[in-house]
Amino acid sequence: ETGVTQTPRHLVMGMTNKKSLKCEQHLGHNAMYWYKQSAKKPLELMFVYSLEERVENNSVPSRFSPECPNSSHLFLHLHTLQPEDSALYLCASSHAGVGYTFGSGTRLTVV
Amino acid sequence: GESVGLHLPTLSVQEGDNSIINCAYSNSASDYFIWYKQESGKGPQFIIDIRSNMDKRQGQRVTVLLNKTVKHLSLQIAATQPGDSAVYFCAENINQAGTALIFGKGTTLSVSS
């Protein structure tokens, strides 16, 4: 257990479904991140929240919608996804860019 | 775009050998670097970090070397064990609030006994 917990661990969803990924950190960090990891590709940064404000959105399609209600929780809302969105979605947290810690990820399969 | 990369996608070593995994970065403003290990089915795990005001940092069986002149980072693992088999990523960051780590492609280390 790293202190960053992601649920669910696995998710299979149809292209017309709406689902949400959840991330929770108990490290007292003030920044949280979503990354996408596809097979044989580097981790791709999707969203950055610092002090609960979204700082960066790396041109991610609008079918991915993040939400950060407080410094300990981060969500990724998914709707009308495509099969190419199947990947491992990783959440991380840090304290002002230091002490980066990752969760175990949600393995998403879009059918 | 990607600003951090690793020289070799795979590295195979014998148990007990020393391993060296290399990484090149391109952002001169980066001042904080981290090595991560990722085992199958898990998220990346922190191994060791180094700031740009240092050129070497040692941990337990691991050493990170930073050469800012040529923008090169390496991870040395002493007495490599089968449990070290994983994918290793280097990552860089400009150490400011609101920025994020940028990762390279990763090197798969295979250790045979």
For the cut 50, the answer to whether the pLDDT of residue A30 exceeds it is: yes
- Nearest-Cα residue of chain B relative to residue A91: B43
Q: Would you call A102 and B96 a contact, using CB atoms and an 8 Å cutoff?
A: no
Please give the pLDDT value at position B98.
61
B chain contacts of residue A90, beta-carbon cutoff 8 Å: 43-44
Please give the pLDDT value at position B4.
57
Average pLDDT, chain A: 92
A chain contacts of residue B34, beta-carbon cutoff 8 Å: 100
Interface of A with B (CB under 8 A): 2, 4, 6, 30-31, 33, 35, 41-43, 45, 48, 50-51, 55-56, 90, 92, 96-98, 100-105
Helix or strand or coil: residue A84? helix
A chain contacts of residue B45, beta-carbon cutoff 8 Å: 2, 102
Per-residue pLDDT tens over the stretch B19-68: 999 999 878 888 899 999 999 888 999 999 999 999 999 999 999 999 99
For the cut 80, the answer to whether the pLDDT of residue A92 exceeds it is: yes
| Count of C-beta atoms within a 10 Å radius of residue A59 | 6
Size of interface A-B (CB pairs under 8 A): 67
Rounded alpha-carbon distances, angstroms, from residue B51 to A32, B23, B68, B93: 21, 15, 11, 10
Distance from CA of A63 to the nearest CA of B (A): 22
A chain contacts of residue B32, beta-carbon cutoff 8 Å: 97-98
Q: Which of A6, A100, A104 sits opposite B46 (nearest CB)?
A: A100
Average pLDDT, chain B: 89
Altogether, the residues listed in chain B come to a count of 113
CB B34 within 8 A of CB B52: no
For the cut 90, the answer to whether the pLDDT of residue B109 exceeds it is: yes
B1 inside 8 A of chain A by CB: no
Rounded to whole angstroms, the maximal C-alpha distance in chain B is 44
For the cut 80, the answer to whether the pLDDT of residue A1 exceeds it is: no
Helix or strand or coil: residue B83? helix
